Amino acid sequence: MRWVAAFLLSLIVLVWYLSGALQPPRRSTEPVTGTLPRVASLKPSSKADPVPESAQPRCVRIGWIDTQQKAEALIAAVPLLRHWEPVVSEVVRELPPLHWVIIPPQPREIALRQFRDIQRRGIDSYLVTEGEYRNAISLGLFESLASARTVLEEKNVRISMRY
């Protein structure tokens, strides 16, 4: 059986080799011009002067930096930015109001008990641990009032909304 496989493999290799040897070599159909192909395209064109690199416009926007001092410190810390002569400008953009759905603050023990109960019911919530709403239970921030009300109806929990 090995001899049959070796014979067939040899036959396939022989046919493949002979089929390539019997074909005439391929010749280019391009006319002979006396130059190597595509060398003429490598020569610089004298018609159009290239634009100097310093005159090419560049625009890079780095956002969400709290103060101008922090932006200038960033420019000083990154050497690549200093070569571009960066300009620090403030962009004021009004964001849509967010509707915060919360269970009002309560004494810590009651808030923890209610938070655990809500978590057991499978409601995604977070306990506020700092600030004015300490020990309140947050059910999320929503861009639309309709979404916030939908969450209120779905969760069926005594909740207040803060804007």
**Per-residue model confidence as pLDDT tens for the chain (163 residues):** 888 888 888 888 877 777 665 566 666 666 666 555 555 555 555 555 555 555 555 666 777 788 888 888 887 887 776 667 777 888 787 878 888 888 889 999 999 999 998 888 888 888 999 989 999 999 888 888 888 888 777 766 555 445 4
CB of 153 within 8 A of CB of 123? no
Query: What is the side-by-side strand order in the sheet with 126-127?
Result: 126-127, 137-142, 99-103, 160-162
**Using the 8-state DSSP alphabet, how is residue 25 labeled?**
P
CA distance 56 to 156: 60
Q: Residue 58: what residue type?
A: R
CA distance 161 to 47: 69
What pLDDT does residue 64 have?
A: 77
Q: How far is C-alpha 18 from the chain's CA centre?
A: 54
**pTM higher than the cut 0.85:** no
